[in-house]
Amino acid sequence: RGRAFADQQRVPEAVAFYKALDRESEVVFRANPFGAGEKQLPFQFDFSFNYYPLAYEKPGPVMTVHRLDDC
């Protein structure tokens, strides 16, 4: 999701997919590597594997699990 919304004109199909997913599903679980009270950082390739900023509490991706409606 972060990569798609970083350059929406380059991948309009991905942006459309994520917008449809938001409309047609319910979020049932979220996990992220950030510490309590820390804001999610914008996607940045280097930080996606070296976890340099202090906002990171542990390594790992931002993960969201959706339950799809009417599938």
User: Domain ranges in the chain?
Assistant: 2-68
pLDDT of residue 56: 77
Tokens of 5: 């919304």
* Residue 13 confidence (pLDDT) above 70: yes
pLDDT of residue 27: 97
Look up residue 42 and give its amino acid: P
Q: What pTM, to 2 d.p., does this model score?
A: 0.67
Cβ-based neighbours of 45, under 8 Å, separated by 6 or more: none
pLDDT of residue 19: 95
What are the pLDDT digits (tens) for 35-69? Answer: 888 887 777 777 766 767 777 788 778 899 999 99
